Structure 1
Amino acid sequence: MEKKKVAVPLVCHGHSRPVVDLFYSPITPDGFFLISASKDSSPMLRNGETGDWIGTFEGHKGAVWSCCLDTNALYAASGSADFTAKLWNALTGDELHSFDHKHIVRTCTFSEDAHCLLTGGFEKVLRIYDLNRPDAPPREVDNSPGSIRTVAWLHSDQTILSSCSDIGGVRLWDLRSGKIVQTLETKSPVTSAEVSQDGRYITTADGSTVNFWDANQFGLVKSYNMPCNVESASLEPKHGNKFVAGGEDMWVHVFDFHTGEQIGCNKGHHGPVHCVRFAPGGESYASGSEDGTIRIWQISPASQEENDSHPGNGPTEKVKVSADEVTHKIEGFHIGKEGNAKEKEKVSDT
């Protein structure tokens, strides 16, 4: 019997508590980058290809639930249980602005043109901040039927997509009217929603099911029942022929997009998988877990010897790869406490 090749991931240490969100930048002239949100209150920036740590954004006083980078990876944003969303300089790590909310901020994302930041959370209000005038009051859309779990932009920032923590379905909002124009019905609350790189599909995970929707006509294209309760799913961006999903069984599952057949299963995490995302070139994908680690998996399983050159990629180790394309990011980035566990002001994780 042919021996099955086991995928050995790059393991990224540094967070002291569960990793709950991951976001890849598009490919920039300096490479591409990965930002992670964790309940330890300190988002981290990494080289998206190697997983090597670049720096930590310090300033939140509660669990960070969401994080994102703008199109050019020059700015980062994060949403937290400390009732704020923060805007960061992704080159230096400096906090540029803190947007106060009245409750936990569960999700945030930059508009396509990077001029706006959209947030949502326990207040059931969508807020749109003009980043050219960060001190100005945000535009508020307050008709969400429940606590907001995920948000995304569609159609060149003309449409907003949102899901709720306690109600099934994905709502599509017309930005001009501020009203819900359509609801994509799901069996359970949607915990992960992703718009594909080419703008064709919306990928949603709602526990027992991963669905793919037409992002223009909003019809259901594919729907697959999952082998376990999954929290997150991501479609391969280059060819769109496979997708990954992760959840409570601690494994990262790989499926054929066209048939739904499972074509791979990666084991290694020691806790439920909260988030999975494909790298922008489709050559790898990352998973974040309750165990506090991020794992980067190659599409073609690399050999053990190749992966041995990156045993940890944690912030407490020296960078082993001379990543020229991120030199200007590393220079001047305000290095925090190197990802060590710190005593934090206790703010609700929920």
Structure 2
Amino acid sequence: MNQSQHTNNTSIIRNGGTAEGERIISLEKDIIIEYENLVANVDRMNQLITRINTNEVLNLINKLRTLEKKRPILLQGHTRSLTQIKYNREGDLIFSVSKDQIVNAWYSHNGERLGTYNGHVGAIWSVDVNSTTTLLITGSADNSAKLWNVQTGKCLHTWEFKTAVKRVAFSEDDTMALAVTEQRMGYPGTIVILPINPDIGAQRPKAMVAVWGNLNKYIITGHEDGSIALYNWKDGEKLNSIHPHTGEITDLQASEDRTYFITSSKDKSAQIFESNTLMPLKKYVTDAPLNSASITPIQEFVILGGGQDAMQVTTTTMRQGKFECRFWHRILEEEVGRVKGHFGPINTIAVHPDGKSFSSGGEDGYVRVHHFDNDYFKFRYPELS
């Protein structure tokens, strides 16, 4: 009985030992697999690290650390509350406006102030810059909108309104801008479209003188660059333009029936043109700059006046300054006489409607009224007698 029990116990121990061994073997296999996986992952990480430039990793880390520590740039150029800021299209400039009446321009990369635009007398509510960064528009509580040259800071144009301008913006093609006005004091809020000429470099000659054409059909203008233009006054359309003078046109006077007119110019000449076509008819060339020209209604004469520039008068005698009224034959284009008297340049000449007298006004401050004698009306040019 004891032997049998011993045999059974031995069998149980053997069986138990075998199960434990298998469990250990299985655990060892799992450990080996995990180790192999770990080694494989380490190998893959080493391969990835070898493909990355160590300097690039360090630079990236440094940039991230710098970005965390970097502080914003503070732009201190206003003394009152900011109302709007704008970037230009390229992003290199910032424009800021506030209630202190000043427009500031800044470099966006370092915050350096480029300049200011001064001209408003009230808080500035809005600002916008065109796509080429050549024009700037602002709207203000002084009831105006202003157009600026970005580069020079010069105010190019001012639009006046009944109430404050709360918002301005350029159109996509820069040919228009909108202005939103405030509803206040009985005036309704409006949205106004403003025409914009984006070509600020375009030179437009300044009109110096103008007259009505015959039957009030046209307006004729003389310009600073010596050009003459014909306009339809109803729609402002320019119908014709010529450039007969090389200097500024100083005077433009129409004939009695307005079918033709005469011009005087700093280029020392006067000319007569047909009103409807601007066709040149006559030309009178002198030896001094001309400030005025007039047509006599009775005799075939034109009267011209001018002389040396007023800034040089103090160093010039009356004879050298050529301060005379000059009579030229209208048809033959020849000078027939002069009337002296002024001791400075003659600035303006006018002929009496009945043709019996004329007046001249000079830099000397005097108006000289001349009455023609009977010989004047009896005068006949030899070639026409």
Q: TM-score range by the shorter chain?
A: 0.3 to 0.5
Structure with greater proportional strand content: 1
Of Structure 1 and Structure 2, the greater helix share is in 2
Normalised by the size of structure 2, how large is the TM-score?
0.39
Q: TM-score, normalised by structure 1?
A: 0.43
Name the structure, 1 or 2, with higher relative contact order (CA <8 Å, separation 6+): 1
